[in-house]
Amino acid sequence: MEYTITDENNSEQLEENNELYEHFRFVADKGQALLRVDKFLMNRIENVSRNKIQQTAKAGNIHVNGTVVKQNYKVKPDDVVAVVFSYPPREIEIIPENIPLEIVYEDEDVIVINKQYNLVVHPGHGNYSGTLLNALAYYFQETSQQLENGFGYLAHRIDKDTTGLLLVAKTELAQAVLARQFFEHTIERKYQAIIWGSPKEENGTITGHIGRSLKNRKVMDVFADGSHGKEAITHYRVLEHFGYVTLVECQLETGRTHQIRAHMQHLGHPLFNDAWYGGDKILKGTSFTKYKQFIENCFKILPRHALHAKSLGFIHPTSGKQLFFDSDLPQDMQSLIEKWRNYTSSRNTEEI
């Protein structure tokens, strides 16, 4: 069986908003006649269906004057109407593909996956097959699960070469509930990364809007003055020093595309072997042949940027229970850390 998903947003817009939701706010005119809020929103938001609004209302994502309302609420003059929509999926054919998945948790509403390296989450330009959604379509087909769209709804995304925990909703209603949690920053997400150098502070917060680079559209830049992009906040703490590189934990308060990668580069500490953000060359240490060979061997051990989505916490969209999941670092990052530990303990003090 094949599935099709639709999209009213271009791919660049979807890539820029990694949180997969959109927030709208409207103020009703002073001459506004009484009108159901679902019709009010349909008149103001392009390509939104009544079913989408109904699911959004059920999830408690429509507010009028700061209060949650049902879809039949009558909008009055000067009412402030705010709504959080989960993004509609994209118009790409999803063909089930037998791609192994490590499932950490699953119930009728959500599924948590520990994503492997080199797996694109969502089909897009240049990656129309071999994605996580293709794998999910196959998995749900093989387990005879009748999902609304056949493959589930992404609650968020992580990069192709980032490993770790990823949350997928099985119903549009569950996705809408989770979208509100992402919007309100109540989802707990912690990553571990290996970065070049050592931050001046053992704990810190990186702020600065993140948006697509004005020079290279493939990467994101930090605009500290807020002139471009969207607000982004990353909290970090040092876990272990290795002389020329450092293991850090990053907790996301927002979820912009490439947030940790862009923020760490902005701080002066790109992720180890992050080719897009300058971490795939020697940034700290000597240029001696022996050290250069050591770094090249490290790059072979970890042929990607050193980033893992380690833990994930959220409120279950149906039961209301707080769920928390933690994952081990993948073997390539563990091997790299061990190699750096051995190097740090054995090198001559004069080399530091």
Q: Dmax over Cα atoms in the chain, in whole Å? A: 79
204: three-class secondary structure by DSSP:
strand
Q: Which among 315, 9, 8 has a CA at the least distance from the CA of 155?
A: 315
Question: How many other C-beta atoms can be found within 10 angstroms of the C-beta atom of residue 171?
Answer: 19
Out of 159, 221, 274, 280, which one is annotated catalytic? 159
Question: How many other C-beta atoms can be found within 10 angstroms of the C-beta atom of residue 305?
Answer: 25
Q: Is 112 exposed, middle or buried (0-12, 13-18, 19+ CB in 10 A)?
A: buried
Q: How far apart are CA 113 and CA 110, in angstroms?
A: 10
Scanning 164-302, the segments in alpha helix (DSSP H) are 172-183, 259-267, 289-301
In the chain, what is the straight-line distance between the N-terminal and C-terminal CA atoms, in Å?
A: 59
CA distance to 52, 70, 108, 243, per residue, from 152 (Å): 15, 25, 11, 44
What the block records as the tokens of 277 is 């953000």
**Strand segments (E) across 30-79:** 35-36, 62-64, 67-68, 74-75
Residue type, 83: V
79 assigned to active site: no
Q: Is 272 exposed, middle or buried (0-12, 13-18, 19+ CB in 10 A)?
A: buried
What the block records as the tokens of 208 is 């600065």
Residue type, 270: P
Question: Could you tell me if 155 and 179 are in contact, meaning their C-beta atoms sit under 8 angstroms apart?
Answer: yes
CA distance to 43, 229, 250, 296, per residue, from 282 (Å): 55, 30, 23, 9
Helix 37-44 / helix 50-58 crossing angle, nearest 10 deg: 130
For residue 237, what are the β-bridge partners?
A: 203, 249
Active centre residues (catalytic): 159
